[in-house]
Structure 1
């Protein structure tokens, strides 16, 4: 069976990792008028009419940049990202000034873009989130230096190198013997909003083990180990997750909620999902999420708008 076709897993550019260690790479690319640059501000990117805004280097040379990133190449053109300084991240500091750009600021869930642009944005936002958090050496506490086009943070004190972090998380569409789908709501979510179960992979744990453990912990349901099937993966850079999608069949249906994690959980038929979505009583995850893809795969096609 084909894997899921996931919106954030269709990158169309070459990351060109072999170029990252080139001496003076970023300075050289900034001198090339053909280089294209996207601008990241927090978890949002500069857009024009919901399309990604790509600039020539001279157009963004005046910006207060915290980090410069090499994203790769497409069609012989190098692509960079500038991550804007954000003084507001420091408690008690003044907010960062509004960038002098005639753009809108759009989250990647709302971006109207092709595979090339989406791939660049997901990569840039994920890297930016890592740089915002991992600023000091975990071994000695010294502030690290950005190297290799933004792909390494180097400690000048102990000479250690530190690389971007990605946290694996499983997300699973659980069905019962009657092919009903398990949908749950987290305590922090609005009433009516539901999704499939998910959770982080723990140290020393396999993915299938994580699927079974998270399901048992969150709702008290036991799975048939032979039914656990991988369906696809995509980055979810909020801040650094790799979502690994599965589906599995439950051998028990009694629900015992982990109350600090799950506010509501129920089994749904397809007719119940269709009716509840149509009348506004059920809100599903956004179309860019792997959760939505897993739900619609079970459903047999798109659900609602």
Structure 2
């Protein structure tokens, strides 16, 4: 069975990092009218007709030029401008608002868009040197920031977050169950897999066990890697796992999780069909984890 979240990564580009400081190569590609540029205002993009719009360099505004890479025989850039252009204009969308478009006709450019907006978010949030407070200057085609006072370099970061489907009972049996939770701010009926950030000095597997215990009181033993997904909202790398519970009693923390429930496959199928259970969207690794456990596609999504 295919994993829905992999659709966002099925057309990777060559990031050509060796050319990020090659001024002659960059100038040559920028002069090529076949090159394509994504315009980003702050951290937002304005699609046209439901599609991600790419323009030739001659139509790109002034701003920070970010080299994304090469694919299909052409170079791809982003130009990141200030957020002023998007202010007050609802047609400029953040990444979360673009996800429906990326899951349809724009899958081919999804990795490029994730790359561009991940860097735009980093530049938006990283204004001063964390060591001395000095100003920062962009280098390496937007992939490095250097302090103009102390010279220390900063590089884009991705914060590892674990996301897991927790199971109990005999694997594959009719009685096997899957643990899902919901936040209080979500619409009625919406449930998802549990997730949380890895802490310093912690393995990913131990982060799974800690997060499940903190949020639901359920204890976890075996933890098996499933897959990963870049999630620059604003700077996460979601690392997916299948976890086996060693206890089943639920005590939610009532802070991050309002409710958590065990679902058999039959309960999940029937409630999803009836619209009583609303599961994560098709391009999320959460959806992939749930359908991996279920053993097929499920109806409905956020």
Cα displacement (A) at 1:80: 0.2
Structure 2: how far apart are the matches of 1:161 and 1:214? 33
- Normalising to structure 2: TM-score of the pair? 0.89
Residue matched to 2:200 = 203
Residue matched to 2:250 = 255
Cα displacement (A) at 1:5: 5.7
Most deviating of 121-130 and 18-27: 18-27
How many residue pairs were aligned?
A: 291
Residue matched to 2:52 = 52
Most deviating of 5-14 and 233-242: 5-14
Residue matched to 1:92 = none
Residue matched to 1:165 = 157
SS at match of 2:206: helix
Written as runs of structure 1 = structure 2, the 5 A alignment for 1:35-50 is 35-50=35-50
Kindly report the root-mean-square deviation, in angstroms, between the aligned alpha carbons of the 2 structures: 2.4
Unaligned runs of 5+ in 1: 89-94
Unaligned runs of 5+ in 2: 170-174
SS at match of 2:281: coil
Q: Please tell me whether the aligned partners of residues 277 and 283 of structure 1 are also in contact (alpha carbons under 8 angstroms).
A: yes
Structure 1: how far apart are the matches of 2:44 and 2:176? 39
Residue matched to 1:221 = 218
SS at match of 2:29: helix
- Normalising to structure 1: TM-score of the pair? 0.88
User: Is 1:238 aligned to 2:228, yes or no?
Assistant: no
Structure 2: how far apart are the matches of 1:267 and 1:17? 46
SS at match of 1:130: helix
Most deviating of 183-192 and 113-122: 113-122
Structure 1: how far apart are the matches of 2:93 and 2:194? 31
Structure 1: how far apart are the matches of 2:47 and 2:66? 18
Q: Please tell me whether the aligned partners of residues 212 and 218 of structure 2 are also in contact (alpha carbons under 8 angstroms).
A: yes
1:80-126 CA deviation, whole Å, 9 max, x = no partner? 011231138xxxxxx74769xxx875733112235430110111111
Q: Please tell me whether the aligned partners of residues 3 and 231 of structure 1 are also in contact (alpha carbons under 8 angstroms).
A: no
Cα 1:138–1:24 change in 2 (3 A) is farther
1:119-149 CA deviation, whole Å, 9 max, x = no partner? 1011111111111001211111112011110
Residue matched to 2:273 = 278
User: Is 1:70 aligned to 2:67, yes or no?
Assistant: yes
Cα 1:294–1:43 change in 2 (3 A) is farther
Structure 2: how far apart are the matches of 1:294 and 1:167? 20
Cα displacement (A) at 1:38: 1.4
Q: Please tell me whether the aligned partners of residues 45 and 121 of structure 1 are also in contact (alpha carbons under 8 angstroms).
A: no
Structure 2: how far apart are the matches of 1:98 and 1:22? 36
Q: Please tell me whether the aligned partners of residues 162 and 204 of structure 2 are also in contact (alpha carbons under 8 angstroms).
A: yes
Residue matched to 1:117 = 109
Residue matched to 2:119 = 127
Residue matched to 1:181 = 178
